[in-house]
Amino acid sequence: MNSGSGRSSSRPIRQRPGAFALGHFFGIPVYVDLSWLVIFALITMTISAQFAEDHPEWASNERWFAGLVTSAVFFLCVLLHEIGHSLVARFFGIPVNSITLFIFGGVAQIQREPEKPLHEFLIAVAGPLTSLMLSVLFFALAGAEAIESLQASAAEDAAGNLPMFNAICLWLTTINLMLAIFNLIPGFPLDGGRVLRSLIWALSGKFEMATRVAAGFGFFVAYFFIALGIYIAFFENMLVNGLWTAFIGWFLLMAARSSVVQLASRRALAGHRVLDILEPIPYRVSPAMSVQALVDGPILQHGHTLFVVEDDGVLKGIVSLSDVKTTPREEWPVTPLQRIMTPAAELVVVEPHESLQTVKETMEERGLAQMPVVEGDRVLGLVTRDGLLRVLHNEMEFGGR
Ligand SMILES: [Zn+2]
């Protein structure tokens, strides 16, 4: 089914629009956003071009090979950076929903905010620390030859005859170091911004104030990058570099803005429970009912699109319109609903006392528009995205706290 449910128990990887699933790492589903392919191609080209300059002795296919290998290993390094954050988060009992790699790096989606400033601090520094350690590792792998070649290149403007393995390691040293430094810029939601927030939070004891200050720094950093990009593009005449810098600034601006919106919505939803927006079940049906009977009755005559399958008041599953549509028409009369329903064990359900913030996060994470509200094995009703948005809207418009 497309909207009413997702699986909860074994968390198999789900497809997402604009991204492909890579698999599980440490039990965390990893996605690659299609925008990553752009950065992958770009890095490969940049590195190959740089290698062409530094190592004119390499054949063109050698250069491309080195570029591709470096890109692929860098990709792994970005993933390890996110896994660094994730494992520390998990150590503090915060589940990690997924890791997504996209054009500017990666995002580890942790399920909730840390409870203590120290936790936030350690989760935030774990990423850059991982990158720093990788940088040191690759520096060691690059070896003494790389240092000699660096000295030589400083003197004569040529990288010398560094073997390919060492040259690649030298690149990965630099790029991981840059990744660590960039992420430590103190603008929220970069890692450095989270470090800043944890410090202000620890000193003031005020989480919201700390977030607002860190986001303020985030806006400042974002505008700085945009201005710097424009300067580089038009006054230094390096159009591509300038555009990239401005683009990074624009991305940081969007990220800072969404973190402010997220804070506002968190505040609006605080104190609201599932019961506040509980909607009655549109239609209850029995597992033995045929698809044909469902279509003839509830669907065609009453226009319902979502059905709770119950046996003696016990939840068995949910049937949506798309489940019906994917069943061949000639099988409708002989197919009972229990064969096409999403069974109860696979449904993502909520309990009546759960907070709406949790509901919102689960819906966003799983791409759901509605979830059944269950107490024991009884279905009380549904929560829908519309109901959630109504609360959000009312609180933001009239809450005025
Ligand atoms: Zn990070």
pLDDT in tens, 27-45: 888 888 888 888 888 888 8
Over the stretch 340-380, which tens digit does the pLDDT of each residue have? 888 888 888 888 888 888 888 788 777 778 888 888 777 88
Beta-carbon neighbour count of residue 41 at 10 Å? 12
Cα-to-centroid distance, 304 and ligand 1 (Å): 45
- Kindly give the distance from the C-alpha atom of residue 144 to the centroid of ligand 1, in angstroms, as a whole number: 30
Could you tell me if 301 and 386 lie in one domain? yes
Range of the domain at 217: 190-269
Do 53 and 158 touch, CB atoms closer than 8 A? no
Task: Phi first, then psi: give them for residue 59, nearest 5 degrees.
Answer: -70, 160
Q: Are 222 and 185 in contact (CB under 8 A)?
A: no
Last residue of a domain, one of 269, 294, 329: 269
Residues 38 and 180 in one domain: yes
- In this prediction, residue 181 carries a pLDDT of 93
- pLDDT for position 17: 64
Centroid of ligand 1 to alpha carbon of 89 (angstroms): 12
> For tokens 């829908």, what's the residue?
384
Report the number of distinct structural domains present in the chain. Answer: 3
Q: What is the CA radius of gyration of the chain?
A: 26
114 and 234 co-located in one domain: no
- State whether 253 and 340 are in the same domain: no
pLDDT tens by residue, 102-135:
766 777 777 777 889 999 999 999 999 999 999 9
Rounded distance from Cα 75 to ligand 1 centre (Å): 14
The answer to whether residues 233 and 321 belong to one domain is no
CATH number of 383's domain: 3.10.580.10
Q: Output the CA 138–ligand 1 centroid distance in Å.
A: 19
Residue 98 CA, ligand 1 centroid: distance in Å = 14
Q: How many angstroms is it from 178 CA to the middle of ligand 1?
A: 12
pLDDT computed for residue 118 by the predictor:
94
Q: What single DSSP character describes residue 317? A: E
Q: How remote is the CA of residue 77 from the centroid of ligand 1, in Å?
A: 11
Instruction: Calculate how far, in angstroms, residue 326's C-alpha sits from the geometric centre of ligand 1.
Output: 42
Backbone angles phi, psi at 108, to 5 degrees: -95, 120
> What is the distance in A from the centroid of ligand 1 to the CA of 311?
48
Q: Are 46 and 180 within one domain? A: yes
What is the pTM for the complete model shown?
0.70
